[in-house]
Amino acid sequence: MVNVNIYHLIEGARKAKGLTVIIDVFRAFSLECYLYAMGAKVVRPVETVADAFRLRDMIPHSLIAGERGGRKCEGFDFGNSPSLLDAVKINGKEVIHTTSAGTQGVANAVNASEIVTGSLVNAAAVAEYVKRCKIDEVSLVGMGKGGKEVAKEDELCAEYIKSLILGYPLPDIRERIAGLRNDGGSHFFDADNQEDFPMADFDLCADYNRFNFVLKVGRGELGYITEKIDM
């Protein structure tokens, strides 16, 4: 029987061992799935804003996306909003991505034997990938808000993926995701927040099992790089 542990935040990423799933539903790893769906050649998660600019200078025609405090970083091509992506600009391009929580988890999962990213939009694919790997130890890490405060959407996603791995899918998953509108995702419905947190982002990130692929994180000469693996 596989041992599945759920950890939390940056501290949890550091504790994670075995095959490690770094989870960020709102919005980092939902965004990366949409980037690949729009034809991105590759996505490169990085830890800092400075790293993003450095890589952009090294990779011709690359784009940079990401946020700090939920807001698009100055000088970036895109923020962290899947509803504001431009498929025409993204198709065929390498995208460098940095966020306050998700990509920090990747950088801090130093004890993991393997890293994949996770979100609701590809939760079932992540669970299937884990099962196919037939590994003894799995760590699911909800990155929360800024990697410092637990977020209900990430905890729900971790619980859901664990249930699929162990063979008892949550019967109320649809209702619980819908409940995030008022408890976890309410900032997407604040009229004063629409520039940084568009309402459409909630539905895109809550569209569970939309994508049947996983994003595996590896390391290359230029740092972290993700690989899209169809399931």
165-195 pLDDT tens trace:
999 999 999 999 999 999 999 999 999 999 9
Total domains in the chain come to 1
Q: Are 177 and 48 in contact (CB under 8 A)?
A: no
Q: What is the pTM of this model?
A: 0.97
Average pLDDT rounded to a whole number, residues 2-10: 97
Alpha carbons 151 and 53: distance in angstroms, whole number: 29
Residue 106 has pLDDT above 90, yes or no: yes
Q: What is the CATH number of the domain that holds 215?
A: 3.90.1560.10
Instruction: Give SS3 for 225.
Output: strand
pLDDT in tens, 29-56: 999 999 999 999 999 999 999 999 999 9
Q: Is the pLDDT of residue 94 over 90?
A: yes
DSSP string over 159-214: HHHHHHHHT---TTHHHHHHHTTTTT-GGGG-GGGTTTS-HHHHHHHH-TT---EE
Domain encompassing residue 11: 3-230
- The Cα–Cα gap between 49 and 36 comes to 21
Residue 1 has pLDDT above 90, yes or no: no
Place of tokens 């690359």: 62
What are the residues facing 5 on neighbouring strands? 139
